[in-house]
Amino acid sequence: MTAVKVLKPPPASAGTTRRVLAGIRLTWLHLRTRRVPAGILALAACGGVLRAALYWHWTFAGLYARQQQIPLIIEAGAAAVIAVTAHSPFGETEQATGRWLPYLRLFAAVGMCGLAIALLQLGAAGESLNEGVLVLARNIIGITGIGLLCSLVTGGLLAWTLPMGYMAFCQYALFQAWTAPWTWPVRRPADRGAWICACAVFAAGLLLFTIVGPRTRLSDDS
Amino acid sequence: MSVMSVPLPRSARALWLEVKRNAVPYVLPLLAAVFYFDTLRTADGFPPVWTLRASVIPNHMLIEFSAFAGGLAAWAGSREGRRKTLDLVATMPRAAWARLGAALAGALCWLLLAFLAGVAVLYVQTALQATWGGPPLWPVLAGAAGVTVVTVIGFTCGVFFPGRFTAPLVAIGVLVPLQVGFREAVNVNVTASSGTTYALLSPISVPPPVETGVYYHVPPDVPIVQVMFMVGIAVALFGVLSLAPGLRQLASAGGRPLRVAAVTLVACGVAASWTAFALAGTARPDAVGGWQIPALHSAASDQPVPVTPDCTSGSAFQVCVHPAFSFYLDDVAAALDPVAAEIAGLPGAPAGAREVASMSGGQSVWSGISGNPPVFDFAAEHVGTTVGMFDGINSTMYIDSGIIPDAAAWREGFQQGLLDSFLIGPSQHSGFVPLDAAQQAVEDALLIAAGSQPQNPISQMGEKAFPETVAAVSAAARRFAALPASARHAWLAAHLAALRAGAITLAQLP
Amino acid sequence: MNVDIRDTRRSFGKNKAVAGVDLQLGTGVFGLLGPNGAGKTSLLRMLATVLPPTSGEIWLLDRDPRRPAARREIRRRLGYLPQNLGYYPSFTVVEFVEYFALLKEMPSSAVPKAVAEAVERVDLGAKAKARLRTLSGGMLRRVGIAQAIVNDPHLLLLDEPTAGLDPEQRVQFRALLRVLGESATVIVSTHLVEDVGAACSEVALMFAGRIVFRGTPEELTARGGGHGVGDTPLERGYSAVLSAARS
């Protein structure tokens, strides 16, 4: 094996700075393994579709239920994209490492959630989004929680299935004007029960996902 | 004896492997739950009329299945990319379209099987409740074509973009156009606010009027173009799949004959869809509230369906309905009987009631009393001023107005329709004619005498209603209702003509 | 002559992966050695008809793989085991091998017997019905070998076939190679020189896209006398040839 010229490493920085830089580097690499940059593009595409839907009036006029139909589909799609970023291509190899993995998972999930809300709201900026950003945020938060919970069972790559099922179910609940708080997409923005429910599902999903991580058996390398 | 030992053709063996190892069965429980809560419960809220119940197949089942079919098909299509077997399968002599076709067929088999199982459940439930007719097949074909095209779209996206985000993006990518198509179809069918009829290509629309397919056949023109459109897209995409290896630049896409076949498939698919699109643009309303496409239309479907009305209510006031609505014959008879008894023997009082089609010759047919002896005609779709008699909470009208119909309101709708026609005068099949104050008071009194509570006099009186008039009407109605039945009957016998002519005032009512 | 390559080249942009290779091979087991990046995998992929050459001629089994009909015939008689074998976790061993037997357009009636034989030959009979996700890395490699030999190929291309196999299995695999080499052209690309020494009748050494040595394992061993670095004579011959090529 021949010796290859090694690039001269940069000068070592002070302790704290080095740790911070290493942390940033680790976080960035972690996000890349989860295809977060592509995921952000996918979320931006969801925002674009939302903008198109509002600009060209794809939604029905009139009742809340009708106006919420298409935005709910897009919000569920954004939540499904977040859920799919849960997948790890390394499987057990990654789990047999140090203590940082749960924090990285937590950061990635919360960060993607925030970005999804921001990108979709950006898409709706200047247009009349049904009930505004509060309902959008609540839907994304809650359905993301469902997706994260699903990833514990199906693995990251199939974690979109339960959010889609929940969305399809909520389309029916919209028209039946259900009042159960666990059908939070149907409820108005000021509805406390719906907020509690959505946040509780998100918290449960986030907690379990952070601690346990997605199932690796059914997933494939990607 | 295992499958391995059974001598099956190569394609069948490959298909069997794909069916055995597909991911769709894992999602079926979730799909079944959504099917129950959405499709089945919605259908159960509809009256047991076949065409109405069957409308949930494209309007609800297709949405549910599309939410999963696209994503699962993308998952199946991306398998070679995800599992990194592209190099290995590229060395295989079997053509890409055959290999990918087997994988696509595996997913499609499961999805269509689940779809047909759902249809079977729906139709069995309806068969146990319906009183006439049989299961329509065109909604099933349109729904199956919709599931097929969504599956092919998802699979094709998965083949070309085998990334982790393909499945969820495809899932929403098919749902949004479906909903947009639904909205446009509503614009064409309900609000008539669209200048073109291309939106008829959308398999998803509002539920049809309750008597669709009952008095007249439903022409298959629109379902034909819908199926043609969707199948055309599916065929074209399958042709594109055949060129996948060449497009991926992994290897050439097979020999020239294969490439020619693939291009031919694409061309045929595009031609079929384009033809369907053009045909949809020529659609025009038919005489019974539906749509016909001249190039596909058969005059035989314009003929009324021969049927013997069901008059077996056994009530004193004979009521006849179409056998498709036999399930409500006794209820209608029970509603009309006491009111008919109040006016029996008076000039123009009907001897019976019969249900007629709500559309004929392109015109709406309104309730009214006609014939000799006089008979009260009513339609299943509307009675008097009340429209959508059978629509539950799913009705657009009820959702938008916030009204939730109940049994008492339903019953009173029939009674009011009969009395409206009686008080206005015979042969008034002219739609809504507002009553004056005295006529309204008499109607309310007769309703009270028949055991009902008058609901909303303002809507009956139209612009003649004022608060003081409403109060006066209510008072006069209570006064008139308090009279003995014989006195009421005698007064009506003496003053009916004047009452109909609008010459009676509230003060003149006893 | 099952393999006839004349001045074949393959470039990826500016990188010349294969920089002019001439090779004519009949039946037998042929070893392909070389350091990382020498062009072995690219050469093998060209022989597997997956990668077209940038220039030069390739004839496989007396056919021109540029023609679709001929390429299809070649692939019916080809067995290929790539370096990174993908697999379908939910498939069983038998299903996986059967799947590729069907893709190779074997007669349907012959598939079950051929699959069973292939699975037995790689000593996975006891695991025939096991799902692939439950197998170890070495077993997965043997599944890959099984799918490569299921159609009794006339041209067998194996890229790192013994990766993950234990010593006993490697011995069995070498015996299998010798049997296969009696009626087919087997090309084995590997880093393990002892595999080449034990199973191959001829060996070539690639470096920087070219063949820098071709001969018998004994001749390669002889090149290492007093010059090479390594624990075995074959390794010393290998390193001696490489050193000469680098200089």
If you count residue pairs, one on A and one on C, with CB atoms under 8 Å apart, how many are there? 3
If you count residue pairs, one on B and one on C, with CB atoms under 8 Å apart, how many are there? 90
- Residues in a beta bridge with B291: B285
* pLDDT score recorded for residue C40: 92
Asked if B91 lies within 8 A of C95 by C-beta distance, the reply is no
% of residues, chain A, pLDDT over 90: 44
Interface partners of A (3+ CB pairs, < 8 Å)?
Answer: B, C
Closest CA to A148 of A194, A109, A118: A109
Task: Say if pTM beats, i.e. exceeds, 0.90.
Answer: no
Is C95's pLDDT higher than 70?
A: yes
Question: Three-state DSSP class for B414?
Answer: helix
* pLDDT score recorded for residue B106: 94
**Cβ–Cβ contact B134 with C under 8 A:** no
Q: Is the dihedral of CA C74, C79, C85, C91 positive or negative?
A: positive
Q: Which of residues 14-53 of C touch B (CB under 8 A)?
A: 45, 48-50
Chain A residues whose beta carbon lies within 8 Å of the beta carbon of residue B186: 60
Is A13's pLDDT higher than 60?
A: no
* pLDDT score recorded for residue C9: 93
| Distance in angstroms (rounded) separating the CA atoms of residues B83 and C35 | 27
* pLDDT score recorded for residue B37: 87
* pLDDT score recorded for residue B388: 55
Å between C50 CA and nearest CA of chain B: 6
Q: Which of residues 35-54 of C touch A (CB under 8 A)?
A: none
List b or e across B146-156, with b for residues whose CB sees 16 or more CB atoms inside 10 angstroms: bbbbbbbbbbb
Residue of C60, C80, C99 for testing the chain B interface, max B β-carbons within 10 Å: C99
Is A6's pLDDT higher than 70?
A: no
* pLDDT score recorded for residue B463: 52
**Cβ–Cβ contact C67 with A under 8 A:** no
**Cβ–Cβ contact B7 with C under 8 A:** yes
Interface partners of B (3+ CB pairs, < 8 Å)?
Answer: A, C
Å between B101 CA and nearest CA of chain C: 12
> What's the average model confidence in pLDDT over A180-188?
84
* pLDDT score recorded for residue B434: 76
> What's the average model confidence in pLDDT over A28-57?
91
% of residues, chain C, pLDDT over 90: 45
Per-10-residue mean pLDDT, chain B, length 510: 61 89 90 92 88 92 91 92 85 85 94 96 94 93 96 94 91 89 79 74 85 87 94 93 65 66 91 95 85 89 86 86 88 90 89 86 78 86 60 43 63 85 70 77 90 66 59 87 89 89 84
* pLDDT score recorded for residue B118: 96
* pLDDT score recorded for residue C72: 86
Asked if A220 lies within 8 A of C89 by C-beta distance, the reply is yes
Asked if C86 lies within 8 A of B251 by C-beta distance, the reply is no
Quickly list H helices, B357-405: 396-401
Helices (H) and strands (E) in chain C, counts: 9, 9
Closest CA to B4 of C46, C51, A190, C108: C108
Asked if B163 lies within 8 A of A161 by C-beta distance, the reply is no
By CA distance, what is B6's nearest residue in C? C109
Is A3's pLDDT higher than 50?
A: no
Helices (H) and strands (E) in chain A, counts: 8, 0
* pLDDT score recorded for residue B158: 93
Asked if B250 lies within 8 A of C50 by C-beta distance, the reply is yes
**Cβ–Cβ contact B92 with C under 8 A:** yes
Strands (E), B244-372: 284-285, 291-292, 318-320, 352-356, 359-360, 363-364, 368-370
- Residues in a beta bridge with C186: C29, C156
| Distance in angstroms (rounded) separating the CA atoms of residues B113 and B105 | 12
* pLDDT score recorded for residue A151: 94
Q: Which of A135-139, A162-166, B503-507 has the lowest mean pLDDT?
A: B503-507
* pLDDT score recorded for residue C162: 86
Consecutive H or E run containing B444? helix B437-449
Consecutive H or E run containing B171? helix B166-189
Q: Note whether B4 and C115 are within 8 A (CB).
A: yes
Chain A residues whose beta carbon lies within 8 Å of the beta carbon of residue B75: 157-158
Is A1's pLDDT higher than 80?
A: no
Q: Which of A144-148, B455-459, C173-177 has the lowest mean pLDDT?
A: B455-459
Asked if B79 lies within 8 A of C100 by C-beta distance, the reply is no
* pLDDT score recorded for residue A95: 67
Domains of chain C from N-terminus onward: 1-77+154-213 (3.40.50.300), 85-152 (no CATH)
Asked if A220 lies within 8 A of C133 by C-beta distance, the reply is no
Asked if B87 lies within 8 A of C45 by C-beta distance, the reply is yes
Give the model confidence (pLDDT) of C205-244 as tens digits: 999 999 999 999 989 888 887 666 778 888 888 888 888 8
% of residues, chain A, pLDDT over 70: 87
Question: Three-state DSSP class for A216?
Answer: coil
Is A2's pLDDT higher than 50?
A: no
* pLDDT score recorded for residue A94: 74
> What's the average model confidence in pLDDT over A96-111?
86
Consecutive H or E run containing A15? helix A15-33
- Residues in a beta bridge with B284: B292
| Distance in angstroms (rounded) separating the CA atoms of residues B251 and C78 | 16
* pLDDT score recorded for residue B46: 86
Question: Which of B30, B41, B183 shows the shortest C-beta gap to A161?
Answer: B30
Give the model confidence (pLDDT) of B254-302 as tens digits: 567 778 888 899 999 999 999 999 999 999 888 777 888 999 998 887 8
* pLDDT score recorded for residue A181: 79
* pLDDT score recorded for residue B96: 81
User: For residue B373, is the peptide bond before it cis, meaning its omega torsion is within 30 degrees of 0?
Assistant: yes
**Cβ–Cβ contact C89 with A under 8 A:** yes
* pLDDT score recorded for residue C83: 85
Å between A97 CA and nearest CA of chain C: 21
Long-range contacts (CB closer than 8 Å, 24 or more residues apart) made by C68-74? C68/B252, C68/B254, C68/B255, C68/B256, C68/B258, C69/B255, C71/B93, C71/B252, C72/B93, C72/B255, C73/B93, C74/C49, C74/C155
**Cβ–Cβ contact B252 with C under 8 A:** yes
Q: Note whether C190 and C32 are within 8 A (CB).
A: yes
